[in-house]
Structure 1
Amino acid sequence: MIKVSVVGAKGRMGSHVVEAVNAADDMELALTLDAGDDLTQITPVNTDVVVEFTVPSQSLNNVLTLVGQGVDVVVGTTGWTEDKLNQVREAVAAQQSVFIAPNFAISAVLADYFARVAAPYFESVEVLEMHHPDKVDAPSGTAIHTAQGIAASRKAAGLGPVPDNTQTDGGSRGQVVDGIHVHAVRLRGLNAHEEVLFGNAGEQLVLRADSFDRTSFMPGVLLAVRKVESGEFPGVTVGLDNFLDL
């Protein structure tokens, strides 16, 4: 049995993780901690893998503390920058594993992958992400990850900048991530949705992933826990696509 502790256990995502771990045949719930709790309670004696779902302002310190405790960590909190990732990479021990997921939904991970495949074949591309208004970061970590992957694929293919002759912006063109425009919508009734729009003269390709309920993230969370616990992925791994046969 994989002993799993959950940090952020009372949150919207953390509570679902607790339920998913309890329902998994190969896992048992160890500790459930939340804001203000002492993370040093978590040790290799009582925990094999920690799932961390908190908020961007706390996540880095939480992960560094957990790494210092000598446990493996699966991180679902978004808002990770390259500087934050490097801090974790420097802290992780040789055989320790930290996994960070821009998104745990299989549909979103596949859309992200397909976007990188399609990117070299289209002149234009924009990313639109849509979430509930309680989400604290914008654009989402998923959308940023998607845009970065598209940009890398375009660069590898020798493509130039995406055409855009807008003369006055006024903030309507969204955030630019590695040359890719990313737009964020926050609307009551939504959960987590992303569209990637590709365009050529006379044609368009739209990739869309919809997560209508937070339960859609749980198969990805449990997959990450199992992969991290296996010891096959030492160091810092970013993106659930690393655990899929793509």
Structure 2
Amino acid sequence: MFAHVAHMTIVRTLIFVAVICQGPLYQFAIKNTFLNGDLAEEAYMKLPLGVSDPTSRSHHVSAMFVLVTPIGCVILLLYVDDMIISGDDETTIHLIKQKLNQLFEMKYLGFLKYFWGLEVVYSPHGHLLSQLKYATYIIYRARLANDTNHTVIPTKLNVKLYSIYDEPLSDRTFYWKLIGSLIYVILSWPNIAYVIHIASKFVSVPRSVQLVVVLCITPYIQDTLDRALLFSSSSTLGLHSYSDSDFSGDTIDQ
């Protein structure tokens, strides 16, 4: 049995929606995480017959619960033993807090500030998201803390990666760990998403040419540690998509 875990992109989306709707973001920690031993209580994977649940679980996010009220709605997002509650119905949010405190041993952490490496700072213009502590850890993991190279872009323009040149890396673990860490950093550095997406295609058999490209991203992160991703309160909930397809120039999936 696995604990419910919301994808961090969903956490980021909830923060953005809260900014636009001017809703609060409350954080809780549940102290009864079950790690070892035998479970004596009955556990239900589904609600038993005759038991109703006023909340509705999202069909797309199993760890997100939505309660619609006559005043508005309340959203509860679960990440193992951490919880975020937001919405525009403060009365219902208060009632949910009381009910959860009766059922579980919980710790109220106040407004959302730090959530699994994601730091949230509040300003009159919106919310600022950063991963300063985690990004610094990645730089040390890449053994580039004392690197004097500087760059203003995460990768060179029109860089091409090939899978047929160079010998495969003798130790692929370093490449795997670095790619995995950088994927998480995309939360607050979305402009590195493209190059990480391309480099991720070589995780099965990484080569030195791909490792060089990935290592060029860390100096960029190091030079932009003092920056944050702003979710402006003047933004809208409109969804926009962009595409710049270059099938003829694709050296990987041709």
The two structures have a TM-score, normalised by structure 2, of 0.26
Higher percent of residues as helix: 1
Higher percent of residues as strand: 1
The two structures have a TM-score, normalised by structure 1, of 0.27
Which entry has the higher C-alpha Rg, 1 or 2? 2
